[in-house]
Amino acid sequence: MSIAATSRTDPRRPSAARIVAIVVLGLAAVIVAVWLGLTIGTKVIGPGTVIDAVTRFDGSDAQLVVRESRIPRTVLGIVVGAALGAAGALMQALTRNALADPGILGVNAGASVAVAIAVAALGTNDFPHLMAFALGGALIATVAVVLLGAAGGGSPVTLVLSGVALAAVLGGVTTALVLLNPTAFLHMRSWESGALAGRDLSLLAFAGPAIALGLVIALLMTRSLDVLALGDDTAAALGVKIGRLRAASVVAVTLLAGTATALAGPVSFLGLAAPHIARGFVGASQKAIVPLAAVIGAVLVVSGDVVGRVIIAPQEVPVGIVMAFVAAPFLIWIGRRKNPVQL
C-alpha cells in the first residue's frame, strides 16, 4: 500500500466542510489579532490613524508609533508565532510525545548560550549580531543533540533525553556567564524574556527566508509524518525513509525555532500549546495540524504582545512572560485530563 493510498483513506482527516470553516475562522482570528496589535497599547490609536500611517504618513506622534513600533511588532509576532507553532507540531509528531516543544532539542538553550558568549567575549549588544549568534548557537545545539541521539540508537526517547540533558548543561553555562559580569548582560535580559519591542523589520531580510524554508520543509513532510504515527516498522514498510524524515524534521525545527528564538528570544510553551489547540480542531492529521498550528501560534503571539502592553500600563510585560502565564494552567489541564493525548 502506498502513502498516497493511505492518506486518501485516513479517517483522521477532517471533512472538506470542516476545513473550509477552520480556514475562515483562522483568517478571521489573524485579522482580529493584527488589528488589535496595530490599535491597542499604552495609547489606543483609532483605525483612521492606522490607515493614514500607512497610506498618508504625516509624521505625527500617533502615526510614528504605528509605523515605528506597532507594525514591526505585529509583523514579527506573526512570523515568530507561525514558526514556533509549526516547529512544535513537528516536534510532537517526530517524537510522538504530546508534551514535546522546540526547546526539547536544546534550541532555546543553544541560542541563549551563544548570545551570552557574544556579550561576554565580544562585548556586543548590537541586535543583528546577537541574532546571528543566537541562530548559530541553536544550529550547533540541535546538531549536537542529533549526534548524541544517534549514538544512543536514534530513537525518539533518546533524542528527547539528549535534548533535555544538553539544555540543562547549556543553561548552567549561560547562568555562569551572566553572573560573572551582570552589567554587561543588561541588554540581554530583554532578549531572554522573549520580547518584540525594539525590533526592526529589516531583521526579516535575514530571518524571513530561513523561516519560509523551514515552513516549506515542514509542509512537505506532513504526509510522511502521518504514516510515521503508525510506528517505525509500519512506516518503513509503506515506503517512508525514517532516517531521512527525522533529519529533515530536525532541519525544519532548527530553521523555524532557531530563527524565531533569535528574533524574539525564548518564547516558552508556545510550541507546546499551539499544536494541542490545532489538534482539537482538526484531529490527528499532521497535514492539517502543522499549518493550523502556525496560524494559532501567530495569533497567540500577537495577542500576547497586546496583553503585555496593557496589563501593567504604562510599563510592558514581554510576550515570553505572558505566554508562560498562559501555559501554566494549560499544562495543568493537560495533566488532569482523563484521556491524555496519544500520538
Into which CATH architecture does domain 3-336 fall? Answer: Orthogonal Bundle (1.10)
Chain segment 285-323, per-residue pLDDT in tens = 888 899 999 999 999 999 999 999 999 888 888 988 898
Average pLDDT rounded to a whole number, residues 208-215: 93
**What's residue 2's pLDDT?**
45
Burial of 102 (0-12, 13-18, 19+ CB in 10 A): buried
Average pLDDT rounded to a whole number, residues 219-239: 86
Burial of 338 (0-12, 13-18, 19+ CB in 10 A): exposed
Q: Grid coordinates representing 279? A: 489538534
For the chain, what percent of residues have pLDDT higher than 70? Answer: 90
Enumerate residues 6+ apart whose C-beta is below 8 A from 46. 39
For residue 95, give the nearest of 160, 151, 147 by alpha carbon.
160
What is the dihedral sign for C-alpha 338, 165, 80, 241? negative
Chain segment 145-194, per-residue pLDDT in tens = 878 877 766 666 777 788 888 988 998 888 888 888 777 677 677 777 88
Q: Which amino acid is at 216?
A: V
**What's residue 9's pLDDT?**
44
Q: Name the more confident of 207 and 122.
A: 207
What is the dihedral sign for C-alpha 274, 252, 289, 17? positive
If residue 91 lies in a helix (H) or strand (E), which one and from where to where? Answer: helix 71-95
Question: What per-residue string of b and e applies to 300-329 under the rule 16 or more CB within 10 Å gives b?
Answer: bbbbbbbbbbeeeeeebbbbbbbbbebbee
> DSSP string covering 127-143, please?
HHHHHHHHHHHHHHHHH
Structural domain boundaries of the chain?
A: 3-336
**pLDDT class of 12 with cuts at 50, 70, 90:** low
Average pLDDT rounded to a whole number, residues 52-76: 90
* Rounded-to-integer distance, Cα 98 and Cα 89, Å: 9
**pLDDT class of 267 with cuts at 50, 70, 90:** confident
**What's residue 8's pLDDT?**
44
99 pLDDT more than 80: no
pTM for this structure? 0.88
66 pLDDT more than 50: yes
Residue 88 CA neighbour count, 13 Å, CB half: 33
* Rounded-to-integer distance, Cα 26 and Cα 21, Å: 8
3 pLDDT more than 60: no
Under a CB-based contact definition with an 8 Å cutoff, are residues 227 and 238 in contact?
A: yes
Question: What per-residue string of b and e applies to 238-274 under the rule 16 or more CB within 10 Å gives b?
Answer: bebeeeebbebbbbbbbbbbbbbbbbbbbbbbbbbbb
**What's residue 159's pLDDT?**
74
